Structure 1
Amino acid sequence: MAAILRLSVLRGAQGSRGLFLQTPVVKPAHVSAFLQDRLSPGWCGAQHIHLSPSCHAGSKAASVHWTSERAVSVLLLGLLPAAYLNPCSAMDYSLAAALTLHSHWGLGQVVTDYVHGAVPQKAAKAGLLALSALTFAGLCYFNYHDVGICKAVAMLWKL
């Protein structure tokens, strides 16, 4: 359902009435033509908005994923100062998990936005999954066999 937007322009000191534009500013026909692959008459650009498949339109999974992304971001906001104040093994592994998950979801959105076609997108997502798994394994290895993330950052700051 499209809402009708009204534009009110007042002439200020002259005291005249406002001008109300009663027609919709965004017409559904123009919007639907803009969102399609073909260009509408009068459209100058060659770009269009890439829409996600409609099979996920009613799914709660997208909402849960969005909420999870925000929860991990907020968790990182608290985890970074906590890791600075209390560097320990639990913080190192928590940072490894949260940073890997946060970067995996962020790079996944880059793949979704900029890699087009079914086969290249599947290959890019498989590569991203492998990269994320290697990143997490590398951070866990670093935490177990070396000083850990918290102490490594503290050592870098001392340079």
Structure 2
Amino acid sequence: MAAIVRLSSVCRRGVKPLFYQSTFLARPLAVPHTYKEHPYQLTAKIHASQALCAGSGSKAASLHWTAERVLSILLLAMGPVAYFNPGPFMDYSLAAALTLHGHWGIGQVLTDYVHGDAKIKMANAGLFLLSTVTFAGLCYFNYNDVGICKAVAMLWSK
């Protein structure tokens, strides 16, 4: 999509794109500059979407993106630490980090593929329920059984 928008900006400046009027194509890759009916329809739809706007001047989306990346890197570091230093603190840290990582990941899938106000509300409620049950289940497993670290070690030993 960015290529289409970028190609159209090049065409407006008078540069003729490669294969613009080629006989190999049934239609040109870009609409001629004389076509003025809806010149900004595609970009207007993208920028007017309420789902993409976090608010004017808000850094919430940027902070969320940064938090997701920090958590991903933290999970990479938690693997070796959990292997060499298993214990209750590491078990509960893994339970929280894995649940949050899964919650954010499934939330992005829902944002991309679920449309309609009622469906979005139901999907988000289901996601919060799933995340809560997952975290509670991992905490229950850590408290009443061997814990995440030792369970993974037991799986690798067989």
Greater RCO between the two (CA within 8 Å, min separation 6)? Answer: 2
Q: 1:10-159 maps to which residues of 2 (within 5 A)?
A: 23=15, 32-35=40-43, 51=49, 52-54=51-53, 56-159=55-158
Query: 5+ unaligned residues in a row in structure 1: which ranges?
Result: 6-20, 38-47
Q: Any conservation in 1 of the 2:141–2:148 contact (CA below 8 Å)?
A: yes
Contact 2:54 2:61 in 1 (8 A): no
TM-score for both structures, normalised by structure 1: 0.71
Aligned mates of 2:40, 2:62 — CA distance in 1: 24
Instruction: Report the TM-score, using the length of structure 2 for normalisation.
Output: 0.71
Indicate conservation of the 8 Å contact 2:68/2:101, yes or no: yes
Aligned equivalents of 1:109 and 1:81: distance in 2?
28
Percent identity, aligned pairs only, is 56
Partners of 2:117 and 2:58 lie apart in 1 by 21
User: For the Cα contact (< 8 Å) 2:54–2:60, is it kept in 1?
Assistant: no
Aligned to 1:87, the other structure's residue is in SS state: coil
Q: Letter of the aligned partner of 2:15 in structure 1? A: T
Instruction: Please give the alpha-carbon distance, in whole angstroms, between the structure 2 residues aligned to 1:50 and 1:113.
Output: 16
Q: How far apart in 2 are the matches of 1:82 and 1:137?
A: 23
Quick one: which amino acid aligns to residue 121 of structure 1? I
What's the CA shift for 1:57? 4.8
Bigger mean CA offset, 48-57 vs 60-69: 48-57
Q: How many residues align?
A: 133
Closer, same or farther in 2 for the Cα pair 1:31/1:103, shift >3 Å?
farther
Cα deviation digits, residues 83-130 of structure 1 (max 9, x gap): 011111111000000000000000000000000111101110110001
